[in-house]
Homo-oligomer: A and B are copies of this chain.
Amino acid sequence: MSLTPEQQAEIETLRASSAPTLRAVSAGMEAHLYKAYPVLDHGFIRVIDYMGDDAAICQAARVSYGKGTKSVQNDEGLIRYLMRHWHSTPFEMCEIKLHVKLPVFVARQWIRHRTANVNEYSARYSILDREFYIPAPEQLAAQSVVNNQGRGEALSGDEAARVLEYLKADSARAYDHYEAMISDEGQQGLARELARMNLPANIYTQWYWKVDLHNLLHFLRLRADAHAQYEIRVYADEICKVVADWVPAAYGAFEDYRMGGATLSGRALDVVKRMLKGEEVSQESSGMSKGEWREFQALLG
């Protein structure tokens, strides 16, 4: 991450000037506001704004006139109940706005979550910076030999060196030519909206991303999961830390019911009952496919 001194000064200015508000304030969240938390080699997340806190979830669930909270303990019980029974609308009453800097190929995954508001830095109007994601050596993973969708061990030796060299050299050259094409010195200069097409998917972009808590938790469940691609998972992990301080009760319920929990199929549930009665169940007698059985074993392992 490399903020210019000007950018750092702008952030400091915002953090220095507080004002009174009558709105719900989350002390845990105020401590995070505007700070840029580094992710990957040049990326970051920054909280720009937020609305609501744990009490606001209960206030909306009760459609109440006041804060909607009798005691912190009652609120936590209600929040756990709402999460357990998939009552999602009270969680939609909290909102967060993030400023994120991220490689384009990560942005392309991220944007598939449609229930959010986005303003992206426009390479049609503006000039992108010379910043590219180059994986750390331990993240230069081989294609998984088990399935089509995962990573295996990290590459090593000559192969790793060759890959790093390709990524660095190709990025640098693409950017050199991008600059050369848009330059208006001694030439007309190619339109920015065209020149950007030469830039590879590891270039960094940035956006403002605003989302309600329900949809954010759905995003985190999928993207902070072990099966998510590492490069988006590290963003999700960083956001998790912030959310844990913002709405501790909701985040605790999320950890228990979503991240730490599991969905059993009807077949799997039936097998669990048979096992609890002492029956030995095999893949053949389970009615599950091999893939399902393997996942089921991993779950109970």
Q: Footprint of B on A, CB under 8 Å? A: 3, 6-7, 10-11, 13-15, 17-25, 30, 33-34, 48-52, 56, 59-61, 63-67, 77, 80-81, 84, 86, 89-90, 92-93, 95, 97, 99, 103-105, 108, 111-112, 114-115, 117-121, 124-126, 133, 135, 139-144, 148-153, 155, 159, 162-163, 166-167, 170, 173-174, 177, 180-182, 184, 187-194, 196-202, 206-208, 210, 212, 222, 229, 255-257, 259-269, 272-273, 275-276, 289, 291-292, 295, 299-300
Contact = CB atoms under 8 A, between A and B. Distances in A.
Given A20-B20, A229-B193, A188 B174 contact: no
A254 to B, nearest CB: 10
Contacts of A222: 86
A66 B89 CA distance: 32
B260 A63 contact: no
A222 B142 CA distance: 42
Contacts of A7: 65-66
B208 A143 contact: no
Contacts of A120: 63
B200 A199 contact: yes
A19 B17 contact: no
Given A143-B191, A174-B170, A23 B52 contact: no
Contact of A265 (B104, B257, B275, B299): B257
A85 to B, nearest CB: 8
A285 B21 CA distance: 42
B184 A166 contact: no
A135 B193 CA distance: 12
Given A80-B289, A108-B108, A300-B276, A166 B181 contact: yes
A63 to B, nearest CB: 4
A279 to B, nearest CB: 11
A97 to B, nearest CB: 7
Given A11-B65, A34-B22, A194-B141, A81 B184 contact: no
A166 B170 contact: no
Contacts of A18: 20-22
List 7 A-B pairs, minimum CB-CB distance, nearest first.
Answer: A260-B266, A10-B66, A142-B188, A92-B117, A197-B202, A18-B20, A7-B65
